[in-house]
Amino acid sequence: MSRTKPSILLIYTGGTIGMIRDFKTGALKAFDFKTLLDKIPELQLLDCNIDTVSNKPIDSSNMNPDYWVEIAELIEASYDDFDGFVVLHGSDTMSYTASALSFMLENLAKPVVFTGSQLPIGDLRTDAKENLITSIQVASLQKDKEPVIKEVCLYFEYKLYRGNRTTKINAEHFQAFASPNYTDLAESGVHLKVNKRYLFKPDPNKPLKVHKNLDHNIALIKLFPGITKTVIESIFNNPSLKAVILETYGAGNCTTEAWFIELLEEKISKGIHIINITQCSGGSVMMGQYETSSSLKRIGVISGKDITTEAAVSKLMYLLGQNISKEMFKSAYEMPLRGEMT
Ligand code: ASP
């Protein structure tokens, strides 16, 4: 099919961007997608063709792996018909979904831009219009008829980030996201400035492969001084548990108390994968740098390096769904698969 203008598929999943206030309770709730588009006549001025599709709109606090599969399937089904995809999503769990989709869409060679807003699109002071319009422009960017962006990213408040590097940092400010360990992919000012050397470069010879098998029998434990043996044991004693992400201190440090290290060692020997990520928003796990992380390294804990919690969770579900051996699992987790770690 020969096309003059880029064609963009706008996928609406819900979130504040498309919500209205309930008259009686004052609470925000999802509303009709078509009405949402009527609120932005500016979309017709964009130099691209826009098609829209919507699943059941939800508040993103209700997001789950089944819904991630639905989004991936929508993209898969229309992959050849569109030049780019914009996903409207609630900001609360947007970084989780963007991270998950980055792993699910292997060899992605087109832009998938997540965006949303802090205020509904109908509000006078809304941030939704700028976020939506620029996301569509980003998804339409082409050079020699090829998309400029070939990865899952997130656009919010004048910045384009690699999706699996983002985290929601603020429930109040329009600048709600940050990418603490990776440079922004683009910035929107008077010009839209793309940091080309930081863009993901997929292998052009490989076709899109969509992974839909996600295993969410996992747990996430944030350590704190005084966390008890009973609490840790109760999590690890769950019979369906396959892997645990430990949010440790600083560069991947934790208590050296014998009960803790022995418990982890025993679970690893039984085939439970344990991933070490840091509670710090920036920087990386470096097991062995301090005595308080040497034992973790010795017993075979996997390093999450500088991965975000959001990407750590979805990478874990994705790799567990791949059914790979224990040894392969550790090396696959410690290697950047979609630019999610350094
Ligand atoms: N609770 C909303 C959601 O994540 C917040 C937002 O859209 O910003 O769906």
pLDDT at 139: 98
What was the pLDDT predicted at 67? 97
Which of the four CATH numbers 3.30.450.80, 3.40.50.1170, 3.40.50.1220, 1.10.10.10 does domain 7-210 have? 3.40.50.1170
What pLDDT score does 35 carry? Answer: 64
Look at residue 166 and give its three-state secondary structure: coil
Nearest residue (by CA) to ligand 1, atom 7, is 90
CA dihedral 157→159→164→165, nearest 10 degrees, is -110
Look at residue 208 and give its three-state secondary structure.
Answer: coil
**Greatest extent of the chain over all pairs of C-alpha atoms, in Å:** 66
91 vs 110: CA distance, rounded Å = 22
Q: How far apart are CA 99 and CA 83, in angstroms?
A: 21
pLDDT score at 131 = 96
Q: Is 286 left (phi over 0), alpha (psi -120 to 50) or beta?
A: beta
Q: Which atom of ligand 1 is nearest to the CA of 116?
A: 7
Answer whether 183's CB lies under 8 Å from 77's CB: no
218-333 CATH fold = Rossmann fold (3.40.50)
Which of ligand 1's atoms lies nearest the C-alpha of 61?
4
Residue 59 CA to ligand 1 centre (angstroms): 6
Pocket probe for ligand 1: among 12, 13, 16, the residue whose CB has the most ligand atoms within 8 Å is 16
Comparing CA positions, the residue from 248, 206, 244 lying closest to residue 105 is: 206
Parallel, antiparallel or unpaired: strands 28-30 and 19-21: antiparallel
Query: Positive or negative, the Cα torsion across 12, 189, 153, 196?
Result: positive
Give pLDDT, residue 18.
Answer: 84
Q: Of the residues 89, 91, 154, which should be mutated to test ligand 1's pocket, given the most ligand atoms within 8 Å of the CB?
A: 91
Active site positions, annotated? 16
pLDDT for 2 equals: 47
> What tokens appear for 72 in the block?
């991936």
| Low-confidence residues of the chain: pLDDT under 70 | 1-3, 31-32, 34-37
What is the distance between the alpha carbons of residues 34 and 18, in angstroms, rounded to a whole number? 10
List, by residue range, all CATH 3.40.50.40 domains of the chain. Answer: 218-333
Ordered alpha helix ranges (H), 141-257: 229-236
Tell me the CA–centroid distance for residue 16 and ligand 1, in Å. 5
Residues of the chain with CATH 3.40.50.1170: 7-210
Interatomic CA distance for residues 302 and 299, integer angstroms:
9
Ligand 1 first shell, C-beta below 6 A? 14-16, 59-61, 90-92, 116, 118
Residue located via tokens 């500016």: 42
Give the atom of ligand 1 at the shortest distance from the alpha carbon of 176. Answer: 8
Measured from the Cα of 92, ligand 1's closest atom is 4
**pLDDT at residue number 201:** 96
